[in-house]
Structures are given as C-alpha cells and as structure tokens.
C-alpha cells in the first residue's frame, strides 16, 4: 500500500478523520490558511469558530471532559498560539486530553522574527504534556497519530503540534499508521497484583477507612466510576472526592461525605483527618486538598493509586503506591476482594463519628428576606434541573465552590470546572464545547459576574452554532473569592475587588442575540429559572445575590483539616506574614 499523494494540510485532516475527530475548535489566521482551505473542501470534520483562542482550548476541554473523547484545537501562529497558552496550561493541570495544532511561519523564516512568529514549541514546552515542531510533511501523519496517542493515554494532557506553513503546502504520501508503539513512552495500565492484594488486605482490616477519589476516576472512564461504586459497596467505606472527581460517586449514596479540601465539608475533612486508612484513587494530594501538610491525616496508613508515578510521595508520604490506570486497579481490587472472600472491619464507632460531624450541618444556610443567598440560588437551580441530568460548568471563584457544595452529582462527566489552574473565563467556552458534544443536553455555566467577562466574547460562538447553553451568573458585584480572602487576611481592605461599571447583562445578552433574564429578589428566583429552561436558545441569567456572603466552610491558609472555619462568626483578624505567604 503506497498511500495517496496529499498536501500537508490534507494529510492533517485525513489523519484527524482517521482518528475519529468530528469537530475542531479554532480560529483562522495567516499561518493556517492552507489548513482552513482544506477544511473548507471537506465535510467530515466540523469546525467551530470561537472568538478568542483561549476559548478554543477551553471549548475543547469541555468537549473532552463531557464526552471522554480528545478535544482538538486549530489556531494560527504568534498571537493565536500565545492566546492558547492559558487553555493549554489549564488542560495540563487538570489532565484533559487536548490536541492543539498551531500554525507556524514557513521553516525558512523560523528564527527571523517574522510576522506573527513566536517560539511556540519553546513557550508550550513546559505547559504541555508533549509538543512537536513538524519540519517535514512526510513525518506529519505519524506525528498526528502519535500526538493523539500521547494526549489520550497514561495521564492525559495537552499535546501541541506546531506546523509551519510550507509543511502544510508541501506534498507527501498519506498512509494510515499502524498501532503506535512509542520508543520511550509506555504508560503502565495494569497495577502490580501483589500491591493490589496488599491494598485489599489493608482495606479489609481497616476500622476507619476512607476512599479519597479524584479526577483520575473520571479520566479513566465510566468503568472506573462503576468499580468505585462496587468497591465502596463491598468495603462499606465512606467516600469523598476532590473538586475534579465530583460525579464519580453518587452524591445520593449514604456513604458520600461530600467534597473535601479548602471548601469541602466538615465531615469529609474530619474523616480524612481521623481515618486509619486512606485510599487515594486518582487524586494527587493537591495543596487545596491537604491543607497544612504536617497536620494532614497524621495517624493514617495511606494507599495511593495513580497512573503518574511522579505523584507518589510528591507532597504526602504514602505507605503503598500502586502505579496504574485507576479503573483497572479498582477492577483488580474488587476481584481480589471477592476471590479472597474478604469482609470489611469498618467499625460502627467510625460511622457514629461521621454522623456526629454531619450533624454540624456545615453547608447549612438561611434564606430569609428578599435578598438571595447564593447557596439558595444554586439549590433552587439544582431542584429545577436535576431530572434533566444536566452538564454543569463553572468559572472560578466563590460561585464555583458553592456549586461544588450545593449542586450534587450522580454521574461522571457532568461537572466541568477548572481545578488546578483555576482559570476564570473557563466556564462559558467549556459549556460551548460540552454542548457541541451533546447538542440535546442541558448545559449550564454557573458563573460569577467577574469571571464571565473574561471570555464573554464566546456568547457570539453559541449564537452562530445555535448552541442553547445557559449562563447562570451569581452576581454580587465583587470578585467574591478575592474579597473573601481580603476579609479573612487583610482586615477587609477590599483592594480592587469591587467591580464598578458592570455592564447591564440583560442588554448585553440581547445584543449578542441571547435571551437575558434578571433576577433581583427571592420571589423571582424560581420563575426566572423556569423562564431560562423554557427558552430553546442560549440564555443569560443575571441573578443578583447577597453582596457580602462568604463561602464556608473553609480551611484557612496554612491550617489543617481539623481547623476548619465553619462560618463567618469564626473569622478572626489578620493572618501573620508566614501564613499569608502560603496562599
């Protein structure tokens, strides 16, 4: 088989098509014109024109996170590539499989400071899982296939392919490559069986176990979620999750403790603090999860399952590390448990303690009067849409944490949020990406009025592709989380955290061709939500909430799990300089 003689641009599209790519999020420019021309001449791959390259990457992330398939981005050289960098870094931090194709100036111009030239592979080297500068058209097909292999296997992440314009124009033979067997990149999928058996025995003998799960379960696929449920059922252990792992375990289960970490529940953090065995499944002991390290679960044995061995002992020392895909490891763990006929030793006393912590009702709030409590807005939204099995995206800030606390999930791939990088402006483009993947599903971006302005231009994209995304803004006129930290650590000096001169969001929405709804008081809340759901197109809801509400519970900077602040009443003074520096 000799393949067909094609241009580099055509080879790219052939390869993408062979890899099952159905949609590209992109923005044209000089250095990718040959690719756009080739796109124009074919019908297999759709192109979604975003309004800013950062939006393209977040949309691809949303698409990937919701569908489990890799997201694909196409942008031009120079500013196209640099605008994409935030999205690429976001995908790296949250382990999202994304392939970003950037145009580059022609090979003979590289290094001459040509128009719209930048050192894309240099700039993205440390914010991508891997990257390539393709200098020969004949190598392109192989690189594209390898890039997808790397982006989607092991710990997923963004891969950048920088493609000079002359390489897009030159011709070569395209032949679909066989199975990729990389020379050096060979992620381990199956965990070591002896270690898994040891883990099963540890679980069976633990009196106070806890399953601490993360985004790895979502990345591994639906099977991992299924196996997690099975393992929780067999062991009777309570389950908590990181922000990234929400949905992997059903929130309606009596074993569910809620999210852990800085804004996690009291019961989840106390259980982490006092367990005798912690089983970390596809999470990475992030600083937002652990709090102060020397106070982090000081008396527990720890098992860590991760596909990326660099996560082992990075911040927290573990007793048993199992390298492998968490879905496969869970599968083996369940098999070992069953074949050995193991029985749990979870003590009644452990669940009694947990019941005691739950009785604190750390997420309780009081809605009184016309002013809307932000938690109440989310709870009413959840109530109205739960039966529709919606996909929820968020921006970054207080609203994100309130959504994580007050919008429980039953299934994976329904919760798309920027965890590691904490990128304001993530939610709207991510919602667009998710809606492209699932045109008939309800997709809602729970947003803040500051974050939404960071990628507001993508409203135009939603209109162009008739994507009925909903944006539900909790508008308190502040960068709420910034203000909250200023309340907690700077005696309430609100330096630049108030957003003066906010636009009239309803008029703004209408200008973009969206429906705009404003909710001012509690009595308008349910009707506003109903109106949002009744409209078939995109809707922007400007929900005015209490201006000075802060998000609790909270583990303050530099504190341990057992030192949670439960409400505003517990907030005291200024932090000392060393705690302040921790962030």
Partner 1 sequence: MNAPAPPPAPRPAKPLFPEEPAERHTLSVTVDNEAGVLGRIVGLFSARGYNIESLTVADVSPDHAVSRITIVTTGPRRVIDQIHAQLERLVPVHSVTDLTEAGPHVERELALVKVAGTGEKRVEALRLADIFRARPVDTTTSSFIFEVSGSTSKVDQFIALMREVGLVEVARTGVAAMARGKDPA
Q: Clarify whether 458 is annotated catalytic.
A: no
Closest separation in Å from C-beta 560 to partner 1? 9
Cα–Cα distance measured from residue 455 to residue 356, given in angstroms and rounded to the nearest whole number: 43
Q: Write down the least CB distance from residue 292 to partner 1, Å.
A: 7
Min CB(142)–partner 1 separation in Å: 13
Q: Which of 41, 115, 349, 464 is catalytic?
A: 115
Residue in 10, 25, 117, 165 annotated catalytic: 165
Closest Cα to residue 52, out of 21, 82, 19? 82
CB of 185 or CB of 438, closer to partner 1: 185
CB closer to partner 1 out of 285 and 426: 285
Please indicate whether residue 207 is annotated as part of the active site: no
Beta carbon of residue 313, minimum distance to partner 1 (angstroms, whole number): 6
Residue with tokens 């094609």: 6
Q: Is 438 a catalytic residue?
A: no
Smallest gap from Cβ 349 to partner 1, in A, equals 20
What is the nearest approach in angstroms of partner 1 to the Cβ of residue 497? 22
3-class state of residue 280 by DSSP: strand
Q: Nearest 5°: CA angle at 470, between 100 and 249?
A: 75
Residue 24 CB contacts under 8 Å (≥ 6 apart), including other chains: 16, 39, 45, 46, 47, 48, 72, 73, 74
- Report the 3 state secondary structure along 355-398: HHHHCCCCCCCCCCCCCCCHHHHHHHHHHHHHHHCCEEEECCCH
H or E element at residue 174: strand 171-174
Nearer to partner 1, 322 or 459 (CB): 322
Instruction: Let me know if 42 is a catalytic residue.
Output: no
Q: How many CB atoms lie within 10 A of CB 448?
A: 29
Helix or strand (DSSP H, E) at 130: strand 130-133
Q: CA 329 to CA 305: how far, in whole Å?
A: 8
We find the least distance from the C-beta atom of residue 148 to partner 1, in angstroms, to be 13
Six-digit token pair at 260? Answer: 């852990």
**Cα separation values, 368 from 58, 253, 262, 344, 403, Å:** 37, 30, 27, 45, 20
Give the integer Cα–Cα distance in Å for 163 and 165. Answer: 6
In the complex with partner 1, the residue whose CB is nearer, 121 or 301, is 121
Nearest residue (CB) to partner 1, 534 versus 569 = 569
Helix 398-406 and helix 480-489, axial crossing angle in degrees, nearest 10: 100
* Residues with Cβ within 8 Å of residue 311, at least 6 apart in sequence: 284, 285, 304
Residue placing its CB nearer to partner 1 in the complex, 77 or 128: 128
Catalytic annotation present for 274 = no
Please choose, from the candidates 51, 7, 55, the residue with its C-alpha nearest in 3D space to the C-alpha of residue 33. 7
Identify which of residues 193 and 359 has a Cβ nearer to partner 1 in the complex: 359
The CA–CA distances, whole Å, from 326 to 191, 200, 238 equal 8, 14, 18
Q: Give whichever of 37 and 287 is closer to partner 1, judged by the CB atom.
A: 287
Nearer to partner 1, 52 or 561 (CB): 561
CB count within 10 Å of CB 520 equals 16
Q: Rounded CA gap, 381 and 374, in Å?
A: 11
Q: Which residues bind partner 1 (CB under 8 A)?
A: 121-122, 125-126, 129-131, 133, 150, 182-185, 292-294, 308-310, 312-315, 359-361, 364, 556-559, 563-567, 569-570, 572, 575-576, 578-579, 581-582
Match 């919602």 to its residue by tokens: 431
Q: How far is the CB of 168 from partner 1 (least distance, A)?
A: 19
Spatial contact of 443 and 391, defined as CB atoms under 8 Å apart: yes
Nearer to partner 1, 50 or 564 (CB): 564
Give residue 490's Cα distance to chain centre.
30
| Pairwise CA distance, residues 394 & 371, whole Å | 23
Question: Of the residues 10, 53, 61, 146, which is catalytic?
Answer: 53
Q: Which two tokens stand for residue 375?
A: 């938690």
**Positions marked active-site:** 53, 115-116, 165, 481
């Amino acid at each position: 088989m000799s393949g067909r003689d094609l241009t580099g641009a055509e080879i790219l599209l052939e390869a993408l098509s062979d890899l099952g790519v159905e949609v590209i999020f992109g923005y044209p420019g000089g250095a990718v014109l040959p690719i756009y021309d080739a796109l124009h001449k074919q019908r297999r791959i759709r192109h979604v024109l975003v309004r800013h390259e950062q939006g393209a990457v977040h949309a691809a992330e949303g698409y990937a996170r919701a569908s489990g398939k890799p997201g694909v981005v196409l942008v031009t050289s120079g500013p196209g590539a640099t605008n994409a960098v935030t999205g690429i870094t976001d995908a790296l931090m949250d382990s999202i499989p994304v392939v970003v194709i950037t145009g580059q100036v022609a090979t003979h111009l590289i290094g001459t400071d040509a128009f719209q030239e930048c050192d894309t592979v240099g700039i993205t080297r440390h914010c991508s899982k891997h990257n390539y500068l393709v200098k020969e058209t004949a190598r392109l097909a192989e690189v594209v296939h390898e890039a997808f292999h790397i982006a989607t296997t092991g710990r997923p992440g963004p891969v950048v392919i920088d493609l000079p314009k002359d390489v897009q124009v030159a011709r070569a033979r395209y032949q679909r490559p066989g199975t990729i067997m990389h020379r050096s990149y060979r992620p381990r999928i199956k965990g070591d069986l002896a270690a898994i058996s040891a883990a099963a025995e540890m679980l069976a003998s633990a009196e106070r176990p806890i399953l601490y799960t993360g985004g790895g379960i979502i990345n591994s696929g639906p099977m991992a979620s299924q196996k997690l449920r099975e393992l929780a059922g067999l062991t009777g252990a309570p389950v908590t999750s990181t922000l990234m792992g929400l949905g992997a375990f059903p929130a309606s289960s009596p074993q569910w403790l809620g999210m852990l970490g800085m804004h996690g529940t009291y019961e989840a953090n106390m259980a982490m603090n006092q367990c005798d065995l912690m089983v970390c499944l596809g999470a990475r002991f992030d600083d937002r999860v652990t709090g102060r390290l020397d106070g982090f679960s000081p008396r527990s044995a720890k098992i860590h399952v991760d596909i990326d061995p660099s996560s082992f002992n990075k911040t927290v020392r573990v007793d048993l590390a199992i390298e492998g895909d968490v879905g496969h490891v869970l599968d083996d763990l369940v098999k070992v448990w069953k074949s050995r006929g193991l029985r749990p030793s979870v003590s009644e006393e452990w669940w009694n303690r947990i019941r005691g912590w739950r009785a604190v009702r750390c997420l309780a709030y009081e809605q009184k009067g016309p002013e809307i409590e932000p938690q109440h807005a989310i709870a009413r939204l959840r109530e109205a849409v739960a039966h529709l099995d919606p996909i929820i995206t968020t921006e970054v800030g207080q609203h994100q944490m309130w959504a994580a606390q007050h919008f429980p999930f039953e299934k994976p791939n329904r919760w798309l949020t920027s965890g590691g990088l904490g990128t304001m402006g993530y939610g709207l483009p991510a919602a667009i990406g998710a809606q492209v993947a699932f045109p008939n599903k309800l997709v809602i971006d729970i947003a803040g009025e500051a974050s939404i302005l960071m990628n507001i231009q993508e409203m135009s994209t939603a209109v162009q592709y008739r994507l009925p995304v909903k944006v539900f803004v909790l508008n308190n006129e502040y960068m709420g989380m910034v203000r909250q930290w200023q309340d907690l650590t700077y005696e309430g000096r609100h330096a630049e955290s108030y957003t003066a001169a906010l636009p009239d969001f309803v008029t703004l929405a209408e200008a973009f061709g969206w429906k705009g709804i404003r909710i001012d008081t509690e009595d308008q809340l349910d009707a506003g939500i109903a109106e949002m759901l009744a409209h078939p197109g995109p809707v922007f809801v400007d929900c005015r909430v209490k201006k000075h509400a802060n998000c609790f519970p909270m583990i303050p900077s530099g504190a341990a799990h057992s030192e949670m602040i439960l409400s505003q009443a517990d907030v005291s003074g200024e932090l000392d300089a060393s705690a302040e520096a921790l962030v």
